[in-house]
Structure formats: C-alpha cells, structure tokens
C-alpha cells in the first residue's frame, strides 16, 4: 500500500503514512480548461468594457455637437421671432386708444 498508484495519476507527495495526495491527469486537464475559461472570460469582459467606454465617449461627443447645433438653431429662431414681433408691433397697432394718433402721423 505504500507505493500504490492509481490509473493515470502520479503521487505528488506523502503528508502522512495514511494520507497521500495524488494528482489525476484528467483532473489536471479539467483544471487547466477551467483556468483558461476564466482567463478568456476576463479578457472578453475587459474588452467589452473598453468597447463600451469608447462608444460612450463617441455618443457624448455626438450629443454635445447636436446640443450646440440645437442651441444655434434656437438662437436663429428667437432672432427671427423677435423681428416678426417688432414688425407686428409697428404695423398692427391693436390699442384702440392710439388709432387716432396713428392716423395723424400718416397724414
């Protein structure tokens, strides 16, 4: 019982007379596959996070450009509306008390 070997395994160390650690080749292969899967998963996650960060930066840039464009359009629209309001105030006098004054100025 002292030098007993199991199928496809090697005795690594002997801790005590009654306790023996053996390393099974199948178990070692599964351990390597599990570690490889964990490393692959970690790399996939870090690549995905990096890609998402780049996309967020691009989206933020696009949003900032659209906001600037919207602000410029709004400023042009407000300027146009102020000009129209000024024209309506000059041409269409809706105050009935000043209608007589307006006619006097035109004569």
Residue 1: the pLDDT is 46
Q: Tens digit of pLDDT for each residue in 39-94?
A: 999 999 999 999 999 999 999 999 999 999 999 999 999 999 999 988 887 777 66
pTM for the whole thing?
0.51
Q: How confident is residue 99, by pLDDT bands cut at 50, 70 and 90? A: low
Contact 25, 9 (CB under 8 A): yes
Cβ-contact 36, 30 below 8 angstroms = no
Dihedral (Cα; 43, 45, 50, 55), 10-degree rounding: 140
What secondary structure does DSSP assign to 48-65, as a single string?
A: HHHHHHHHHHHHHHHHHH
Q: What is the pLDDT of residue 35?
A: 98
């Amino acid at each position: 019982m002292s030098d007993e070997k199991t199928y496809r395994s090697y005795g690594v160390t002997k801790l005590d007379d009654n306790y023996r650690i053996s390393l099974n080749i199948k178990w070692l292969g599964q351990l390597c596959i599990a570690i490889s899967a964990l490393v692959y998963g970690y790399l996939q996650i870090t690549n995905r996070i990096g890609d998402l960060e780049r996309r967020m930066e691009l989206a933020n840039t696009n949003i900032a450009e659209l906001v600037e464009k919207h602000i410029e359009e709004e400023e042009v629209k407000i300027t146009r509306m102020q000009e129209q309001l000024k024209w309506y105030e000059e041409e269409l006098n809706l105050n009935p008390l000043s209608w007589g004054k307006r006619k006097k100025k035109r004569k």
